[in-house]
Amino acid sequence: MAVPLRPVATLHGPVPVISAYREYRAAPVVARAAVCTWQGVPGWPRRMRLLPDGCLDLVWDGRHARLVRPADRQVRRPVGDNALVTGIRIRPGWAAVVAGIPVYHLPEVADLADVWDLAAARPVAAALAAATSPAAGRAILTEAVASRLASVAGPDPRVLAAVGALASPRANVGTAARQAGLSSRQLRRLFDEHVGLPPKNLHSILRFQRLRAWLAASGPAPGALARAAAECGYFDQAHLCRDCARLGGLTPASLLAASASPA
């Protein structure tokens, strides 16, 4: 799926309206496969900008449980106003395990009942509909993923090795393939099945997310973008600018401003 540019945003007017998004540490039972659980309230109807993170999400929007496959660039997704949305975010390499099918078979958004068998999907949706709090909803999503992990074989260790290699600032696809004991063509085929993105795309997305984290930690110090380019694995600042535009539809200045002032 993808993540909001800002965790908190405000629509100013006679009565200000707040859009809020928050992540929670994944429970130990799913931590090997899940980055986090999360919840958000859009605040007002719009097409919200979401930035790619390379992950699959299992999402409950108050009416439907859905799987949302990884995006390869920013998406503008229609959102409502005060409807709470909860989700659990699945790490790259584990998507096919949780979905139960190769990721390349998934559409951008798929109803859970169309992917899992009805006997598995219906109880999850019913429990989510009956949840009395956001925490209860996140716990139900965690339990659903934990049940999948307990009932199926784990991911291909070669894919996980390659994903781990691509997370390094100095990585490249060729190095990741060699570390996983694969050719570049074999790696591409396995990523289509287990990740849902080509290795090069995931590499760029992980680098972009590393840039966001670096900027959030460093703030708008003089020369921040030049240092960020060097430390996050870009060839130079021009390379960083191209990635910001391609993946986020943003200028580096906009990304820096959002990182420096998340509200």
Q: What is the pLDDT of residues 35-59, one digit of tens each?
A: 999 999 988 888 988 999 999 999 9
Please give the average per-residue pLDDT across 154-166, as a whole number: 96
Q: Does the pLDDT value for residue 187 go beyond 60? A: yes
What are the chain's domains? 2-151 (no CATH), 157-260 (1.10.10.60)
Structure tokens given for 106: 């998934």
CB 194 within 8 Å of CB 152: no
To the nearest whole number, what is the mean pLDDT of the chain? 91
Please name the amino acid found at residue 194. H
Q: What is the model's pTM?
A: 0.91
Q: Which of 47-51, 195-199, 205-209, 212-216 has the lowest mean pLDDT?
A: 212-216
CA 132 – CA 259 distance, rounded (Å): 33
Q: Does the pLDDT value for residue 263 go beyond 50? A: no
CA 86 – CA 136 distance, rounded (Å): 10
